[in-house]
Amino acid sequence: MTVVDRALSLAIVSLLLCPALARAQSAEAEALFREGKKLIKQGKLAEGCDKIAASEKLEGSVGTLLNLGDCREKQGQLASAWAAFKEAEGMARRDGNDEKRMTEARRRSAALEPKLPSLEIDVQRRVPGMTIKRGDDAVDPAAWNTSVPVDPGAYTIVVEAPGKKPWRTQVTVDLRGTRRAVVSVPVLDDAPVAVVEQRPAVGQEPRQITVDQPPRRIVPTWSTTRGVAVAMLVVGAGAVGAGAYFGVHARDLEDKSDKRCPQTMCGDPEALRLNASARTSATRANIAFGTAAVAAAGATVLWFLGKPDAETVVSPSVGGGVGISISGRL
């Protein structure tokens, strides 16, 4: 068998199989359609409508759509019925040889239009990535801010966008009260930024990092005893000043006395008085310098004896994060 013969054989087999497949699909759709009509006659409207809808999905036809529209209208689902009639009208128009059913579909859809309940989702500010759901159905962005026919019932509207808090509300549309509902979507609030705290896994030790920097020891330099030492140093400094003053004053008095009476033996009363005052000032200077020396010695001793007992150690630490640790020692 040549290549051409094989191709012709495959083509013939395909032509024979395609009608069989089409008939099988039509048979299943027909069975569902008949079962639906039977259930409707038995008063099982909801089950019958679902069978007809399943038949239409398998193989759409003008007749099936007309029956589906009639069934949905009896259920009170006017928007679904109107959509089925409009689709039947379009299909009949495309066929071009079904004027009667096209006219019937147009008449039925036109009769429903004034009764249709509608819902408009008014979006005040669009956000990139925003999605809106009406119940379980996603609403196309092209349908936002547009009044669209819906079946009567309660609808949950959920609005989401990246980086924003979700927003939701519920609205009810019915044939007696709110036939035309409008849901206004507000400006979405920013979602809180999540802070992820990294912790070691269960049973895992925190990662240890070696730090080359040695710990620093901070030793306090102040205590009550050292405060007394500083006070003594202040007193000693004052004594040094007083000693210097009396020493200079004694020298000045002595010079004046020597001028009046340069000899060792002197009978001049004023010279004797000046000499006595000079000795008094010299004694005061000696006492002041002695006091300063004692104060300085005592302050030095108290400063070293007053060393604080507490010691603070500051060292780098690494656990969950890099930081420092502070410890004290008594």
CATH number at residue 134: 2.60.40
| Residues contacting 92, CB < 8 A, separation 6+ | 62, 98, 99, 101, 102, 105
CATH number at residue 44: 1.25.40.10
pLDDT, residue 282, reads 82
Provide the phi-psi class of 58: left if phi over 0, else alpha when psi is between -120 and 50, else beta: alpha
Residues 108 and 163 occupy one common structural domain:
no
DSSP, collapsed to helix, strand or coil, labels residue 76 as: coil
Do 73 and 112 meet the contact criterion of CB atoms below 8 Å apart?
yes
- The Cα 243–Cα 250 span in angstroms is 10
Query: How crowded is residue 183: how many other Cβ atoms within 10 Å of its Cβ?
Result: 17
pLDDT, residue 230, reads 80
Query: How crowded is residue 160: how many other Cβ atoms within 10 Å of its Cβ?
Result: 16
- Extract the runs of DSSP E, i.e. beta strands, from 3-160: 118-123, 131-134, 137-138, 147-149, 153-160
Residue 238 lies in a domain: yes
pLDDT, residue 222, reads 67
Residues 105 and 124 occupy one common structural domain:
no
pLDDT, residue 169, reads 95
In order along its 330 residues, the chain shows pLDDT tens digits of 454 344 434 433 343 333 333 334 578 888 998 998 899 999 999 999 999 999 988 888 898 999 999 999 999 999 999 999 999 999 989 888 788 999 999 999 999 999 899 999 999 889 899 999 998 899 999 999 999 999 898 999 999 999 999 999 999 988 776 678 899 999 999 988 766 556 666 666 655 555 445 555 555 666 787 777 788 888 888 878 887 887 887 788 777 777 777 666 676 777 677 777 878 978 987 897 888 788 788 778 776 776 766 555 545 554 444 454 445 444
Last residue of a domain, one of 80, 115, 150: 115
Terminal-to-terminal C-alpha distance of the chain: 107
Give the domain extent around 49. Answer: 22-115
| One-character DSSP codes across 223-291 | -HHHHHHHHHHHHHHHHHHHHHHHHHHHHHHHHHHHHH--SSS---HHHHHHHHHHHHHHHHHHHHHHH
Residue 204 lies in a domain: no
pLDDT, residue 300, reads 85
Quote the pTM value. Answer: 0.49
Residues 175 and 244 occupy one common structural domain:
no
Residue 54 lies in a domain: yes
What's the angle, vertex CA 241, arms to CA 239 and CA 247, rounded to 5?
A: 100
DSSP, collapsed to helix, strand or coil, labels residue 18 as: helix
Task: Write down the residue that tokens 């309940």 correspond to.
Answer: 117
pLDDT, residue 47, reads 93
Residue 57 lies in a domain: yes
**What's the domain count of the chain?**
3
Residues 268 and 256 occupy one common structural domain:
yes
Residues 28 and 107 occupy one common structural domain:
yes
Residue 212 lies in a domain: no
Residues 109 and 146 occupy one common structural domain:
no
Comparing CA positions, the residue from 165, 167, 172, 160 lying closest to residue 129 is: 160
pLDDT, residue 194, reads 64
Residue 200 lies in a domain: no
| Residues contacting 63, CB < 8 A, separation 6+ | 101
Do 270 and 188 meet the contact criterion of CB atoms below 8 Å apart?
no
Residues 233 and 286 occupy one common structural domain:
yes
Q: Crossing angle, helix 62-75 and helix 45-58, to 10 degrees? A: 150
Tokens representing 124 are: 């005040």
Chain centre distance of CA 141? 27
pLDDT, residue 203, reads 65
Last residue of a domain, one of 62, 87, 115: 115
DSSP, collapsed to helix, strand or coil, labels residue 88 as: helix
pLDDT, residue 286, reads 87
Residues 238 and 255 occupy one common structural domain:
yes
C-alpha distances in Å from residue 174, one per residue of 133, 168, 185, 214, 291: 19, 20, 21, 78, 108
Last residue of a domain, one of 163, 185, 207: 185
Residue 327 lies in a domain: no
Residues 111 and 162 occupy one common structural domain:
no
pLDDT, residue 123, reads 93
Comparing CA positions, the residue from 248, 251, 269 lying closest to residue 260 is: 269
Residues 27 and 101 occupy one common structural domain:
yes
Residues 81 and 124 occupy one common structural domain:
no
Residue 318 lies in a domain: no
Residues 174 and 110 occupy one common structural domain:
no
AA letter at 253: L
